[in-house]
Structure 1
Amino acid sequence: MQQRLRQLCAVLALAGALPAQAALFSDDEARKAILELRAKVTALEEAQKRLASSQDLQDQLQTLRRSLLEISNQNEALRAEMARLRGANEQLTRDLADTQRRLSDQLQGFDARIKQFEPQKVSLDGQEFKVEPEEQRQYEAAMGLLRRGEFAQAASAYESFLKRFSASGYGAAVRFWLGNAQYGQRAYAPAIATFREFLKLNPQHPRVPEALLALANCQIELKDSKSARKTLDELIKAHPGSEAAQAAKERRASLK
């Protein structure tokens, strides 16, 4: 482009010299040369305009490319941020689930610990009542001793129970089994006292026939046949259909 401009300048300089050399050219030739020069100048000016327009377009394209690149970068940054937030949300969801699970486990453990101190409903010998956990534990421990034939330890455990839990719903059962533990030790007089107390406090208890038979057995062991016969007669009369009454008839028949 710069070379063509230099050529144009040279032509224009030549055209300026034409009047001085008019004698060398005819008028038509000079006019024709001038018209050609003007056409070339016009073409060069148009080329310059197109070049300038093309440069503007290139600048606009560059600006557009930069804008698109910025938008692309912003879009990538936005995607990265969305991915980060999505990951953070998933982590929060997992953390929440873990927290809820731990809380549930803690609540279950707390409920279990609370239940250890709450009264429990117990059904025993046809009766329902509530007992404290420690009552239940001590009663079952004493029963375990009795089942293993550790009569002295069982009797001691039952006596301790009655002192500590005097109003317990286990009271009737504890007195009945205390009498049996004493009988197992051959402590017949204490056993008689225990069975009499049981009968006095629990006249409607389902184990009354068994207690009467056990009382008669203690009396027999003490050679008190008269009292034993009286107790057996009472049992047979008051509870004729019981298994204890059938056993009482056999024991009475053996008495002299």
Structure 2
Amino acid sequence: MLYSKLTFAHHLRSLWRLVEPFVLAVIVTQVLGTIVGVNGASMMPNLRHHERLLVPKYDTWLHKVGVGQFVRGDILVFKPPTDALNRPVLNGPLLGNWRYRPFLVKRLIGLPGDRIRIQKGVVFVNGKALPDNPAAYWRAQGCWDTASPLANQAQSARDGLVADEQEITVPEGEYFVMGDNRTVGGSEDSRLFGPVPLQDIAGRAAAVIWPVLRRETATYDCRANSRPQDHVTFGGKSVLNLRWLRPLAGFGGQH
């Protein structure tokens, strides 16, 4: 009997050594924080392709149990609605058409109850125009979108996911997000798939942690119609890129 107990304890310790790294990884990424990569140019000029973001998880869990909430201007990491942006991954005979929803990185524009309207590229929240950042950058580049449906509607039926709406009120428990890229087709966001439910939000991007340095200027090719991240020219001196991500000034916080 003693031998059996010792053998069982030995096997239990061996099993724990095997699964311990995975358990710790789950605890760290689900409770403490995780690292997410920026893929594409939809958050230019503030975030660039292949930058790495630190996403703390504790505030997301607090928000989900009713303690506090995200504020306008935060950068959120989230899953898009199920019907939006599904990507086929592997189509082999064993896995079939397995699909996944990639994480997206966008700017929080509207809180639950906010009225959102977009006119000639200007975003209005509760009747007040948002600050010029990031529109000023795109005006300087010569490709600020003021004419397309996405520049003149809070929601567009272009992709068949939502109805055309000049103005919407963000539902309770959901958030309206947009990319900082304000060119034609520069971002797939709530204008195309609607507000994002709280349960689909992984967290708030708190800091850029990689690369350590980045070039000072970025010039965008307005003629790019596919993979715009490949049509950006960087210049100037190298500057420190490690930085905290704060809500943009003038976005109104929680009020």
TM-score range, shorter-chain basis? under 0.3
Name the structure with the higher helix share.
Answer: 1
Higher relative contact order (CA 8 A, sep 6+): 2
Q: Normalising by the residue count of structure 2, what TM-score does the alignment of the two structures yield?
A: 0.28
TM-score (norm. length: structure 1): 0.27
Larger Rg belongs to: 1
Structure with the bigger percentage of strand? 2
